[in-house]
Amino acid sequence: MMDTALLSDLERRGLIAQSTDIYSLKVVLSSPQTLYCGFDPTAGSLHIGHLVPLLLLKRFQDAGHKVIALIGGATGLIGDPSFKASERSLNSTSTVAGWVNDLSVQILNLLQPRLNQPLQLVNNADWIHQLNVVDFFRDVGKHFSVNNLLNRDSVKQRLLRPDQGISFTEFSYSLLQAFDFSELNERYDCRLQIGGNDQWGNILSGIDYTRRRNGREVHGLTLPLITKSDGTKFGKSETGTVWLDAAKTSPYAFYQFWLNTADSDVYRFLRYYTFLSCDEIDRIENEDKANHQKPQAQYILAKELTQFVHGENGLLHAQRITEALFTGRVRQLQLSELKQLELDGLPTWHISSHDLTEALIKSGLAASKRAARELLASDAIRVNGEKVTAEQNDLGFALFDQYWILQKGVVSENGK
C-alpha cells in the first residue's frame, strides 16, 4: 500500500476543483498508478498558467506514481474551444510541429532534473494521424451523444453567441481528447487524467469513452483556474504573458512578477506553486501578520519559482539586477543582465545622440527641456548609477558601449 496523503495535501492546498468519486480515487491511488496531463502547442513556450499542472505531475511522481506529459501535436492543429469566446485561428502544420518540439524540450528541461524517474513524454499525433476518418466516425463518434456535448458549459457559451457559434472542427475536439485518454489507457495502463477546470467536460468524455472502448474504469481530477483575489485574470504582467521561456520573459521580469504578488494572493500562490508544506506556509503567514512589516512571503514565492524555472543561475541574476536597481549600483551589472532589462525589465528607447536633455524627454522622465533642467538642478537624475548636475548635458560613456540607465529620484548609498 502507498502513502495516500497526497490527495489530502492537494485538498488542503486548494488544488482540487473537481474529481470523479474522491473515495474511489483514493482507493485507486493507494497503489502505483499512471496518470497524464495534456499540453496543446498554441505557442513556442508554456506560461505560468501551465506551471501548476506541471508541478502537479511532480507531486504525483514524488508520491510514487508514474506520470505522462502529452503534447497535442494533433489536437494543437484544431484548438480546444473550451470557454473561448471565439473560434481559434488555425496554425500551419509546420508551425505546430515547431511548437511541439519547443514544448517537448521545455517540459523535459523543467521536470526531468527534478523527478525520481524518467518522464514519459508522448505526442498524440503518433496515433491520431494514423486514424482513418470513416473508422473514426464509426468507432469513436458512434459513442458520443451530440445532445450531451451541446449541454457542456464550454460549448453552451459559444452557442449563446450567435455572432460566433462553433465550427464542427472545434466541436470535434472533445472526441479527440477522449480518444487520447483511451489510447493512453491501452498503451500505458493510464488511469487518471489531470488538467485545468476548463477541461472537466473533455475529461468526462474521455472517462466515458475509455469505459466503452477498453472496459476500464478511469478517473479525472481538475485544478482550479488561477485568478487574483479581485477576480481579474492571472498570468499577465505589464509587458504581457509571463512565459516560462527566458527569451520571452527574462528571469528578472519573472522574479519581479512574483515579487509584486498582492498580499491577498501570495499565501494561496505559495500553496499552488511551491513544495513548501502547508504547515510551513501557515507559519510564514502567521509571522507576516505578527510582524506588521513588509511580508516575507513574496520574496519566498519569487525565489522558489525563479529557481525552479530558471535555475540557481537565473535566480542569482534576477536578484543581482533587483539589488543593483534598488541601490543605484547599476555599473556592476553584466552585459547579459542588461540585455534582460532591455527585453522586458525597463522601458527602452533608442537614441540618436548623447544629449542628456533629449534622452530625458524621449524616455518620458521629463515633459520638457525646462522640466529636465529642473530635475538636473535638484540632483534628481542619475545616469548609470551616477548623479549628474545641471551643467552636465552629456550621457557620458555607455555601459558595454550600448546602454545608459536613467533613474529619476534620490537613491541613497544603502538603497533607501
Q: What is the mean pLDDT of residues 107-136?
A: 95
Distance CA 52, CA 275 (A): 11
CA distance 385 to 179: 59
Rounded Cα distance, 266 and 384, in Å: 33
383-410: string of b/e by CB count within 10 Å (b at 16+)? Answer: bbbeebeeeebebeeebeeebbbbbeee
Reported as a single tens digit per residue, the pLDDT across 190-222 is: 999 999 999 999 999 999 999 999 999 999 999
Average pLDDT over residues 307-326: 97
- Tell me what the mean pLDDT of segment 281-286 comes to: 97
| For range 149-161, the mean pLDDT | 79
116-127 mean pLDDT:
95
Sorting pLDDT into bands at 50, 70 and 90, what band is 232? confident
Lookup: cell for 304: 522558489
The pLDDT tens digits of the residues spanning 319-347 come to: 999 999 999 899 999 999 999 999 999 99
User: Is residue 257 over pLDDT 70?
Assistant: yes
Neighbours of 234 (CB within 10 A): 16
Residue with cell 467536460: 201
Please give the pLDDT value at position 21: 96
Question: Does the pLDDT of residue 414 top 50, yes or no?
Answer: no
Average confidence score pLDDT of the chain: 92
Phi/psi-derived region of residue 165, left when phi > 0, alpha when psi is between -120 and 50, beta in every other case: left
Residue with cell 506556509: 281
Whether the predicted pLDDT of 149 surpasses 90? no
CB 220 within 8 A of CB 193: yes
Q: Is the pLDDT of residue 416 over 60?
A: no
d(Cα 154, Cα 373) in Å, to the nearest integer? 58
- Cα 1 to the center of its chain, rounded Å: 34
Phi/psi at 392 (5° precision): -90, 125
pLDDT of residue 333: 96
Sequence letter at residue 297:
A
The pLDDT of residue 375 is above 90: yes
pLDDT, mean of residues 286-304? 95
